[in-house]
Structure 1
Amino acid sequence: GDILVEPFYKDLDFGTGGMRGIMGVGTNRINPYTLGLATQGLAVYAQQSIGRKDLKAAIAFDSRNNSKAFACKVAEVLSANGIHTYLFEDLRPTPELSFSVRELGCDFGIVLTASHNPKEYNGYKVYWNDGGQLIPPHDKGVIEEVRATRFKDIRWDANEALIETVGRDLDEKYTDMIAGLSLSNAGKTDLNIVFTALHGTSIISVPPALAKAGFTNVQLVEAQSTPNGNFPTVASPNPEESDALAMAVAQAEANGADLVIGCDPDTDRVGIAANDGTGKMQLLNGNDTAALLVHYILNAYKENGTLPSNGFTAATIVTTDLIADISAAYSIPCYRCLTGFKWIADIINRKPEEKFLVGGEESYGYLIGDAVRDKDAVASTVMIAEMAANAKAQGRTVLQQLEAIHREFGQYQERLISITKKGRTGAQEIADMMTTLRNDPPKTLAGSPVVIAIDHSNSTQTDLRSGATSSTELPASNVLQFITEAGDKVSA
């Protein structure tokens, strides 16, 4: 029975991040009809909220099965609604879409991607005119309009004159922007890099961006360089998982490389491994990489005498506190936000008189500069390589560089424990777990008393010793954080 119930038991939910689901027939699946519904609702909402019909939109898509066909369908529906649509000629990284929305002066943008989900999945992400993913009030506005849309409302009668193919010119501007982020040329030709695209879109942009930035010693993992929506050489194309980087690590160890870099299929996350000095490659987690990037960038600005007095960094609430500590050492504020890069984009938007330098989250996503408003694995790859080249030029490995950061700013360790609950029952189990934690929070963690409890659902922070409460000054989100006397922090 479930085989029939699952595809139809509900409509595919258009949530705050867009849609993601299994491809197939059914109202709870990704297919031209559910995408048409989302696009029609989005078009109507955008035209009403902006107050004009003649809008501009950009569409990009990744290497997944059906992504190109889906993107063409979405372009047809937008054009049928009178919206001038820039459609990328072929697969492109998600951050290039964010860049292009800004570069082309679009009112919104769409990417067809399911990031690093398994091959059965596809998805649909929406960006607003700032190049960031939807945040309030637009996320709720689009959701309501999509829910109110019926299949008969979808306009399929494409106006081909309004669909414009784009590609090379934007690629050039995008990689030029990334090359312009460079803060040092030290050791670039000496650094030996092994890069894997994990069958995704990064093969389009990362090798050219590395070449443009001056890295001449880059080997590709050839077996993973061809875009392929079946991701045949990996169980999951997720650079957060060691298995995904196994081929690159083996190649790097065989060739004595300094650094392994791998991107997920839509090129917004990046995982790295570094030579430990004995020829073995050691994987780094997202917090380590974020700390290395932030430290390198702030330090290079300072050494160049160009550290902006109005500069700032940003990190999500579940990312290592090391980012804030490093920033403070350079007299640079680190602004915290909820999980999700759209909130970092929101900070950049709300602080036009300040200059965003670098930011990130523990889930392997980073952004350098403000020309893109989502995590950018192309720019991150180039700047990670620059950080490693710089360390090598000073006689240090990346791991020694990380050790030096820990010695100077403090030793931090983080661990992510993922609990997966699937389908209808899973969603309820997760809700019940959070309710239990909220109503009966732990008194001690790892033997140390809990002294601060933060409930982001009502934006309050409570000091359990004094009973004093204060506002987190962040939007509401179903997240709980507990901080112990020993300084440990647990987020759920």
Structure 2
Amino acid sequence: MNPEINAKAEAWLSPTFDETTQKEVKKLIEQDSEELTESFYKNLEFGTGGMRGIMGVGTNRINKYTLGKNTQGLSNYLKEAFSGQTPKVAIAYDCRNNSKELAQVVADVFSANDIKVYLFSDLRPTPELSFAVKHLDCHCGIVLTASHNPPEYNGYKVYWQDGGQLVPPQDSEIVAEIESLDYSAVNFDAKKEHITYIDKDVDEAFIKASLENGSFSELDKHRDDVTIVFTPLHGTSVTIIPDVLEGAGYKNVQIVEEQRKPDGNFPTVKSPNPEEPEALKMALDLAEEKGADIVVGTDPDCDRLGIAVRDNSGKLVLLNGNQTMVVMTDFLLENYFANNEAKGNEFIGSTIVSTPMMETLAKSYDVECKLGLTGFKWIAKMIVDYPSQQFIGGGEESFGFMVGDFVRDKDAVTATLLACEIVTKAKSEGSSFFKKLQDLYVKHGFFKEDLTSLVKKGISGAEEIKQTMINLRENPLTTINGEKIVKIDDYASSKSLKVSTGESTDIDIPKANVLIYHTDQGSRIAARPSGTEPKIKFYISVNDNAESLDDLSKVEEKLDAKIAGVLKELGI
């Protein structure tokens, strides 16, 4: 038995912790199991999308005490940061097991600290929480969710006044305050008079804003021609998306009944992740039965969406996040410039591991494409940092998109509506969503991406991921699949190295554990440990020109071979 871990576990046998918790900890100590080590070997950390972890007892688990400590630290910080005011906090939760109970615990701790709480009376999408923070003029927001992680996970995401997730300097300052606390400092004694339950009024305001930002009046007479299949994958989106689509005028919306009911066990899928083709199988089957034009599936907290559309032969094909993002962004830019006079201050947002096609697209419209680290909080931060510029929209490869800035996080509600509007307009013109993508490939170059994730669980897995990144830095690649490495961007050191000259320049983006290789043929290979899951991710982007639509299949074969070659050389 590790004495340090045992001491941390025994500290949870004090009266600070309830009887049920103490019994669970005693059982782990008696068994001296790997589970004891995993539960106590570290404190659960804030990552890319807040704090996520397996539910259970211990410092490295999601439970009332770890979340209570977070909330006590955040309460202390809010009262100091907004001295002389009564801080206000909005809280939402998704369909996960224990989310409702944990949300109440969080609300209780805030209220015990004389902080005004607006708590959703039932589960709601994450983007609605982001909206509610601004709509209710709150200082902070919390959503209880583990996004698309497996059923045993839950999480805690923190939002700031602007409706975006925590970014520097508040993030590190709040973490420092949390880490300075002992569990005995947490005040769980709720003051119920400080808690207000919210629902329909905020729903109606959010739906109205989604319709204003994601629908286009010129399509009113064409929506009856479109059939949509939608699945919430047992998540929160069923509370809002059907109403938004109905509000826009879509009447032919088919919901996958087996996946309609919110359920934290996600009984019909291995993973409630719309990035996974298997998750959308039932929706695809229903779409074939109904002859649908588009399939949309959202993750449990409704910030990501996956879509399938008809290809040129009428077959339903799943699109990846990069493809969806490019078509959506082009559609928004085209409509913006058709209806507004360009002021020269417009921009779109994306991330350093998403498709470089976003930068090419921006140049064609003479707008700026700002790039940030992985995580939508960085795109939200762009809006705060550049208030004199007009944000049009933006996205990231991991199936997230944001339309305008009324929400400051990826928003599958409005993005679902936007995708359906694109299908509607294209169909009215004798085209399709898929054809729009192909046209962009011919116009701007065919960009193709691949994401391969290696799962490495537990303490040994974390060490293996760490060593992989060390090796890539200390023994950098010089070639990959016959292409010469010409530039290496290391976001941990904030340095960009030009390989041929050895010249190094600064990267003006916050530090992160990301390494990106660039080749002489325009290929890009990025390595990044996940901030919320036990994974190391490899992002590959390759591109080539296509002279016409007829060339696309041949060019795609060439790009597929390039990606396969890169993966082979990386040994993954």
User: Taking structure 2 as the reference length, what is the TM-score of the superposition?
Assistant: 0.84
Contact 2:48/2:375 (<8 A) preserved: no
* Post-superposition offset of 1:308: 5.2
1:467 and 2:499 aligned = no
CA contact (8 A) 2:48 2:374 kept: no
User: Which of the residues 98, 118, 131 maps onto 1:99?
Assistant: 131
Structure 2 CA distance for partners of 1:16 and 1:299, relative to 1, 3 Å: closer
Do the aligned residues in 2 keep the contact of 1:16 with 1:135 (CA within 8 Å)? no
Give the equivalent residue in structure 1 for 2:218. 185
The structure 2 residue matched to 1:355, chosen from 362, 387, 390, is 390
Match in the other structure for 2:199: 167
Per the TM alignment, residue 14 of structure 1 is displaced from its structure 2 partner at its CA by 4.1
Q: What is the DSSP-based 3-state SS (H/G/I as helix, E as strand, rest coil) of the residue aligned with 1:110?
A: strand
Confirm whether residue 421 of structure 1 aligns to residue 453 of structure 2: no
Q: Determine which of 144, 153, 163 is the counterpart of 1:112.
A: 144
Match of 2:303 in 1: 268
1:72 aligned partner: 104
Match of 1:456 in 2: 491
Task: Please list, as runs of the form range in 1=range in 2, the aligned pairs for 1:24-423 lying within 5 A after superposition.
Answer: 24-52=56-84, 54-181=86-213, 182-186=215-219, 187-305=222-340, 307=342, 309-423=344-458
Query: In the alignment, is the contact (CA less than 8 A) between 1:117 and 1:237 conserved in 2?
Result: yes
CA contact (8 A) 1:253 1:279 kept: no
Q: CA 1:223–1:307 in structure 2 vs 1: closer, same or farther (change >3 Å)?
A: farther
Q: Is the 8 A contact 1:183 1:300 kept in 2?
A: no
Percent identity between matched residues is: 48
Distance in 1 separating the partners of 2:463 and 2:446 = 38
**Could you list the runs of 4 or more consecutive aligned residues of structure 1 that deviate by over 6 angstroms after TM superposition?**
none
Partners of 1:461 and 1:330 in 2: CA distance: 27
Asked if 2 retains the 8 angstrom alpha-carbon contact of 1:183 and 1:297, the reply is no
Aligned length: 492
Q: Does the aligned pair in 1 maintain the 2:312–2:435 contact within 8 Å?
A: no
Q: Equivalent residue of 1:419, what SS?
A: strand
**Distance apart, 1:303 and its partner CA:** 2.7
Instruction: Give the conservation status (yes or no) of the 8 Å contact 2:49–2:375.
Output: no
User: Does structure 2 conserve the Cα–Cα contact (< 8 Å) formed by 1:6 and 1:28?
Assistant: yes
Q: CA deviation at 1:15?
A: 4.5
More displaced, 1-10 or 87-96? 1-10
Deviation per residue, 1:207-231 (Å, 9 max, x gap): 1111112222211111101101110
One-letter code aligned to 1:489: R
Output one character per residue of 1:258-290: Cα deviation in whole Å (capped at 9) or x when no partner. Answer: 100000000000000012244421000000000
- Residue 448 of structure 2 aligns with an amino acid whose one-letter code is Q
**Aligned partners of 1:433 and 1:249: how far apart in 2?**
38
* 8 A Cα contact 1:64 1:119, kept in partner: yes
1: CA distance between counterparts of 2:127 and 2:110? 21
Unaligned runs of 5+ in 1: none
CA contact (8 A) 1:98 1:374 kept: yes
Q: Give the alignment's TM-score, normalised by structure 1.
A: 0.98
Distance in 1 of aligned mates of 2:62 and 2:340: 51
Cα 1:427/1:218, change in 2 over 3 Å: same
How far has the Cα of 1:55 moved from its partner?
Answer: 0.5
Query: Aligned partner of 1:364: which letter?
Result: F
Q: Is the 8 A contact 2:116 2:195 kept in 1?
A: yes
- Once the two structures are TM-superposed, the CA of residue 376 in structure 1 deviates from its matched residue by 0.5
- Of Structure 1 and Structure 2, which has the larger fraction of its residues in helix? 2
The structure with the largest alpha-carbon Rg is 2
Matched residue of 1:418: which SS?
A: strand
Q: Distance in 1 between matches of 2:288 and 2:436?
A: 20
Unaligned runs of 5+ in 2: 1-32, 528-572
